[in-house]
Amino acid sequence: MEHLSTKQISNTFTETFPGDLSMNNTRRQTPGVLYCSVLPTPVAQPVLISWSDEMAEVLELSKPSPEDILILGGNAINPMMKPYASCYAGHQFGNWAGQLGDGRAISLGFCSGKDGVDYELQLKGAGPTPYSRNADGRAVLRSSVREYIMSEAMHYLGVPTTRALSLVATSDPVLRDMFYNGHAEYEPGAIVLRVAPSFIRFGNFEILAERGNGLLSKQLCDWVIARYYPEIDIEHEDRVVHLFQAVAERTADTIVEWLRVGFVHGVMNTDNMSILGLTIDYGPYSFVDDYDLSFTPNTTDLPGRRYAFGNQASVAYWNLSRLANALAFLVPETDKLVAVLKNYQDVYERKYYVMMAKKLGIDELREEDRLLIDSFEEMLQTLKPDMTLFYQLLIDLPDAIGSSADVKNFFQETFYTEPDETILYASMLTYRARIETNSCSVETSKQMMRAANPRFIVRNYMLHEAIEKLEKGDDSLLKKLEEYMKDPYSKKGDEYFVKRPAWAEQKAGCSMLSCSS
**Nearest-angstrom CA–CA distance, 202 and 319:** 8
Nearest of 211, 227, 254, 178 to residue 101 by alpha carbon: 211
Q: Coil, strand or helix: which one is 377? A: helix
**Nearest-angstrom CA–CA distance, 482 and 406:** 37
Report CA-CA distances (Å) from 45 to 75, 191, 438. Answer: 9, 12, 60
Contacts of residue 181, defined as CB under 8 A and 6 or more positions apart, other chains included, come to none
Residues 56, 193 contacting (CB under 8 angstroms): no
Burial class (CB in 10 A: 0-12, 13-18, 19+), 181: exposed
Nearest of 126, 176, 134, 121 to residue 26 by alpha carbon: 134
**Nearest-angstrom CA–CA distance, 278 and 199:** 9
Residue 445 exposure: Cα atoms within 13 Å on the Cβ side? 22
**CB atoms near residue 442 (< 10 Å):** 12
**Nearest-angstrom CA–CA distance, 328 and 266:** 28
Report CA-CA distances (Å) from 36 to 19, 43, 68, 86, 211. Answer: 5, 21, 24, 7, 17
DSSP letter assigned to residue 62:
P
**Helical (H) or strand (E) element with 394:** helix 387-395
**Helical (H) or strand (E) element with 86:** strand 84-86
**Helical (H) or strand (E) element with 312:** helix 312-327
Contacts of residue 457, defined as CB under 8 A and 6 or more positions apart, other chains included, come to 153, 157, 261, 262, 287, 388, 488
- 277: phi > 0 → left, psi -120 to 50 → alpha, else beta; which? left
Nearest of 371, 374, 350, 354 to residue 363 by alpha carbon: 354
Catalytic member of 20, 68, 102, 271: 271
Question: In 60-140, which ranges are continuous DSSP H helix?
Answer: 66-72
Ranges assigned E (strand) in 200-324? 263-264, 286-287
Length of the chain: 517
Q: Coil, strand or helix: which one is 59? A: helix
**Nearest-angstrom CA–CA distance, 105 and 188:** 18
Catalytic-residue membership of 399: no
Residues 45, 59 contacting (CB under 8 angstroms): no
Catalytic residues: 271
